[in-house]
Structure 1
Amino acid sequence: MQIVIIDGQGGSLGKSLVEAIKKRFEHVQVLAIGTNSLATSAMLRSGADGIATGENPVVVAARNADLIIGPLGIITADALHGEITPTMAVAVAQSKAHKILLPISKCNVSIVGRQDLSLTEMIELAVSEIAAFLDNQRQG
């Protein structure tokens, strides 16, 4: 099971996701990809099994991932203050991997009907979604 976490800016979301995933699912491999070196470094310190930085790692990882997790902006060109390139957004959006996207509002996209949740609550929901995905994969 290849889980890819993509994050940018300071990497705090990615860092929290890596920590929560590694705590709950010891058997999964987590590849953390930062859109910049600061985000990558934060995710490395949190226990990711592998790291990479930049556009090409996102494109390559999107081809091979079973699950991609990150902020909503990873499927939106120019999101995260321009850190998500159009190539990255297309690679993630077109990936056959299951995607779990957290509605962090730094990409000028509003999701009608979404709840206002804290980052901690969103991460807990993401981990629950991962558990459901893994259970479904085992049964299917």
Structure 2
Amino acid sequence: MNIVVLDGMGGGIGSRIVGILKEEMPPYIEIYGLGTNALATAAMLKKGANKGATGENAIATTVVKADFIIGSIAMTIPNSMMGEVTPRMVEAIGSCEGIKIYIPILPENHHIVSLEQKPLMLQIREAVALIKKELHLEDV
């Protein structure tokens, strides 16, 4: 059983996730810290990840074996994290058979309208309301 933690940039989110996983999970579960860069990987290893690897190829080849993947939802958006997340990484993450858990942290121009199970029409209304807000049309 393994849990892959994905992160980029400075590794702040991933290192926090690894720290909590190390506290909460039984010791037989392997925690892999996979970073888009060496700084992110090092931060996760410092917090106790059992294994760490860096870069596109390491992420693309390791996530396919994951039982769980956890990280920012930005890891599912090609070219996010200032270009650190590549299309190949996103494809590998999406193709993994493991359970994916996303933390709703997004690039500035992405929004999530609903994290609750709601009827589709309510979600659409929330999406439209967000667009109106971004366009400063809240009162229309």
- Name the structure 2 match of 1:89: 90
Residues 1:107 and 1:55: Cα distance change in structure 2 (over 3 Å)? farther
CA contact (8 A) 1:7 1:33 kept: yes
| CA deviation after TM superposition for structure 1 residue 107, in Å | 6.2
**Greater radius of gyration (CA):** 2
Q: Looking at secondary structure, tell me which structure has more helix per residue.
A: 1
Note the alpha carbon deviations across 1:101-129, whole angstroms, 9 max, x for none. 001122632110249xxxxxxxxxxxxxx
CA–CA distance in structure 2, aligned partners of residues 11 and 97 of structure 1: 22
- The answer on 1:56 being equivalent to 2:57 is yes
Which residue identity does 2:10 align to in structure 1?
G
- Name the structure 1 match of 2:24: 24
Residues 1:95 and 1:107: Cα distance change in structure 2 (over 3 Å)? farther
Structure 2: 5+ residue stretches without partners: 117-140
- Name the SS of the counterpart of 1:26 in structure 2: coil
**1:1-140 equivalence runs, <5 A:** 1-27=1-27, 28-106=29-107, 108-114=109-115
Structure 1: 5+ residue stretches without partners: 116-140
CA–CA distance in structure 2, aligned partners of residues 3 and 33 of structure 1: 10
Residues matched between the structures, number: 115
Structure 2 length-normalised TM: 0.78
Which has the higher mean CA deviation after the structures are superposed, 56-65 or 101-110?
Answer: 101-110
Structure 1 length-normalised TM: 0.78
| CA deviation after TM superposition for structure 1 residue 63, in Å | 1.2
| CA deviation after TM superposition for structure 1 residue 57, in Å | 1.0
- Name the structure 2 match of 1:127: none
Note the alpha carbon deviations across 1:20-53, whole angstroms, 9 max, x for none. 0010013311000110011111111000000000
CA–CA distance in structure 2, aligned partners of residues 108 and 14 of structure 1: 22
